A and B are shown apart, each in its own frame.
Chain A
Amino acid sequence: MTTTERHIPDRLTTPLARVLKSWETLLLAVAVAIFIVNSLASPYFLNAWNLSDATFNFTEKGMIALAMALLIVAGEIDLSVASIIALASTAMGAAAQVGAGPAALVLIGLGVGLACGAFNAVLVTVMGLPSIVVTIGTMSLFRGISYIVLGDGVYGGYPAGFDYFGQGYVVWVLSFEFVLFLILAVIYAIVLHKTNFGRAVYAIGNNATGALFSGIRVNRVKFILFLLTGLMSGLAAVCLTSRLGSTRPSIGVGMELEVVTMVVLGGVNILGGSGSIPGVVIAAFVMGLVTFGLGLLNVPGIVMSIFIGALLIGVIALPRLWSMMRRG
């Protein structure tokens, strides 16, 4: 990988100019633009219930993206999140077959997520293996276990009351998932931007060795981040399973791509060291609105994935192309 140039500006920009020029502002403008285009393109778009439905497109992925953002800021990555969903969902399905209640199912989902996160964490921090290969491996392993358990079968028959997590509404059109996502976003924003732990995450992403020498317990922080990502995947599994009402081993397949896209679109540097939670939250809205708008226009899911893929490359490529052209 080539080294990036760093310019130290002669004059610091004013706070207002900095806010206006920031990635988050640009992203917000994009979100508003997509919103307007969607309302013009489809007469069904601007409707409170319709918009509420649209949030389901990103709430589950968004929850994982919050934790993934911290992980990527710290210079690691977890590609196994979608497979953790599959395994957690399978465990919940198996428990539901023997009559577990909603509370037990939630605990099982979160517990499996946490256990998978811990497994990744041990391999990366204790054994010192590169997270990208570890999680490519566990991506096969976790989903593989689901396939062993379920084969081409399906788990259904979730108990009454379990449907609240994916289909319930807190007040009016605000779904449980959406409210949960917003609360988590606030918590993650405080953790990353206002606590010592958050500073440690940035420090590790910029210079892990330097962070270690300045007294940060690098491996412990990374361990916690993998646990959090696992836990969020478990939570997403609870919501997704509750929403779908059934479990197949192929549940959430390819979701890791959308989560990583969300994080990168949110302005988090894929190489670690920078990024913000507000950016990721706005990116979640942008992706949700784009896919929902395309859905209203009857664009098939696989064609949407072209947009997601192009978005992922485009958001990184365009600023670089722009600066290349300005330099001539």
Chain B
Amino acid sequence: MIKRLATTREAMLLAAIVVLIALISTRFGDFATPRNLANVFNDTAPLILLAIGQMIVILTKCIDLSVAATLALTGMVVAMLNTAAPGVPVAVILLIAVALGAALGAVNGFFVWKLSIPPIVVTLGTMTIFRGIIFLISDGAWVNAHEMSAAFKGFPRHVILGLPMLGWIAILAVVLFHVVTTRTPLGRAFFAVGGNPHASVYTGIDVGRTQFWAYVISGALAGLTGYLWVARYAVAYVDIAGGFELDVVAACVIGGVSIAGGSGSVIGALLGALFLGVIKNALPVINISPFWQLAISGSAIIIAIALNARASRVKGRVILKRAEHAA
């Protein structure tokens, strides 16, 4: 029953995306070509990667507002590393990006786990701290395209079977974390902790530690995306991906992830991100100013939570029959 509801919600979202693409195609025929759709997917890949991490954090009743700052800080660090030592292979850069992101996520996780500080306070704080650190290490300067090595810039744009590496990494992450969340003890723990923290303590799950790992995953994905972002756009500065955390939360909420924790899916986060990605890519095509983007994602968040709340509202038990009043 629950599973059926879940599948219909995701099916509905998928249908909405298809309808959206169909509507855009009526005004701009080339939008729905495989080539352009691959472009849209590739363009949305960073949002998908971050939304997966955010989804897992939200599952455990937390929130991570520092993802965009983690992305930017990691991106700046690897960009500066590349400038200083252009010989470092991309594999090592990837490893550093993931490790640094995971470490930044672990900072959030530590405060939430060991000091029980509310997640929103922690990540609001680290969000500004991480951005400030970027300024400190870069002195406010930009790292531009000509300072980056060709291999560094080339990796996310390397096309395999018509889709750039960036897109393939998003697909890999979707598959990996779909398996992690649905087929592993840690994945079950994420749902248990968010669904009922007290009950999960009694079943032997350490709530704080599970939340810690959720933050580490979110941070690692943000770190990975940080490198991919900086390499793809071939520029790194303090404000890259500014405000992106709102889009990430929006993608999750639209994807049916319950902000109260305990319910959501990787596929939902993927579809939520794609929904926003299609809108974002469609705006210039149908001649709407990009300045509309912010208001549209804000409205999408509000509409999505309103719909989610309606769908999952717990009906109270009737303890007084209406008929008795009527009589």
Interface residues in chain A, defined as those with a beta carbon under 8 Å from any beta carbon in chain B: 1-2, 4, 77, 123, 127-130, 132-134, 136-145, 147-148, 151-152, 249, 254, 257, 260-261, 264, 270-271, 300, 302-303, 305-306, 308-310, 312-313, 316-317, 320-321, 324
Bound form: Cα–Cα A312–B115 in Å? 14
Given A133-B259, A270-B121: A144 and B289 interface contact (C-beta under 8 Å): no
A306 touching B197, Cβ below 8 Å: no
Bound form: Cα–Cα A4–B305 in Å? 30
Known pairs A141-B295, A321-B115 / 18 extra A-B pairs, C-beta < 8 Å? A4-B116, A129-B305, A133-B305, A137-B250, A137-B302, A140-B294, A144-B296, A147-B295, A151-B291, A257-B124, A257-B128, A260-B124, A303-B132, A303-B136, A305-B132, A309-B126, A309-B129, A320-B117
B301 touching A133, Cβ below 8 Å: yes
Within 8 Å CB of B202, what residues of A?
Answer: none
B259 touching A302, Cβ below 8 Å: no
Q: State which residues 68-122 of B face A: CB under 8 Å.
A: 111, 115-118, 120-122
A144 touching B116, Cβ below 8 Å: no
Within 8 Å CB of B301, what residues of A?
Answer: 133, 136-137, 140-141
Given A303-B136, A316-B117: A138 and B260 interface contact (C-beta under 8 Å): no
Within 8 Å CB of B118, what residues of A?
Answer: 1, 270-271, 316
Within 8 Å CB of A136, what residues of B?
Answer: 246, 249-250, 301
Q: Give 16 CB contacts A-B under 8 Å.
A: A127-B309, A129-B305, A130-B259, A130-B260, A134-B302, A136-B249, A137-B302, A141-B295, A142-B298, A147-B294, A254-B128, A257-B127, A300-B140, A305-B128, A309-B132, A310-B125
Within 8 Å CB of B295, what residues of A?
Answer: 140-141, 144-145, 147-148
A144 touching B115, Cβ below 8 Å: no
**What's the minimum C-beta distance from A46 to chain B, rounded to whole angstroms?**
28
B306 at interface by CB-CB < 8 Å: yes
B125 touching A309, Cβ below 8 Å: yes
B305 touching A130, Cβ below 8 Å: yes
**What's the minimum C-beta distance from A246 to chain B, rounded to whole angstroms?**
18
Candidates A123, A132, A249; contact of B302 at CB < 8 Å: A123
**What's the minimum C-beta distance from A255 to chain B, rounded to whole angstroms?**
12
Q: State which residues 164-196 of B face A: CB under 8 Å.
A: none
B117 touching A317, Cβ below 8 Å: yes
Within 8 Å CB of A123, what residues of B?
Answer: 302, 306
**What's the minimum C-beta distance from A189 to chain B, rounded to whole angstroms?**
24
A1 touching B111, Cβ below 8 Å: no
A139, A303, A309 — which one has the most chain B CB atoms within 10 A of its CB? A309
A312 touching B294, Cβ below 8 Å: no
Within 8 Å CB of A324, what residues of B?
Answer: 115
Q: Specify the chain A residue showing the minimal Cβ separation from B239.
A: A302
Within 8 Å CB of A270, what residues of B?
Answer: 118, 120-121
Within 8 Å CB of A308, what residues of B?
Answer: 128
**What's the minimum C-beta distance from B91 to chain A, rounded to whole angstroms?**
32
Within 8 Å CB of B299, what residues of A?
Answer: 137, 141, 144
Bound form: Cα–Cα A173–B291 in Å? 41
**What's the minimum C-beta distance from B124 to chain A, rounded to whole angstroms?**
6
Given A151-B291, A302-B132, A312-B121: A317 and B111 interface contact (C-beta under 8 Å): yes
Bound form: Cα–Cα A145–B292 in Å? 8
Bound form: Cα–Cα A145–B298 in Å? 10
Bound form: Cα–Cα A134–B259 in Å? 11
**What's the minimum C-beta distance from A74 to chain B, rounded to whole angstroms?**
15
B298 touching A137, Cβ below 8 Å: yes
Within 8 Å CB of B298, what residues of A?
Answer: 137-144
B141 at interface by CB-CB < 8 Å: no
Question: Which 8 A-B pairs give the minimum distances between C-beta atoms?
Answer: A144-B295, A140-B298, A141-B298, A306-B132, A137-B301, A144-B294, A309-B128, A309-B129
Given A1-B118, A148-B291: A313 and B306 interface contact (C-beta under 8 Å): no
Bound form: Cα–Cα A139–B298 in Å? 7
B117, B124, B293, B299 — which one has the most chain A CB atoms within 10 A of its CB? B124
Within 8 Å CB of B309, what residues of A?
Answer: 127-129
Given A302-B131, A303-B136: A143 and B249 interface contact (C-beta under 8 Å): no
B128 touching A134, Cβ below 8 Å: no
A316 touching B121, Cβ below 8 Å: yes
Given A148-B291, A310-B125, A312-B121: A305 and B111 interface contact (C-beta under 8 Å): no
**What's the minimum C-beta distance from A85 to chain B, rounded to whole angstroms?**
15
B63 touching A313, Cβ below 8 Å: no
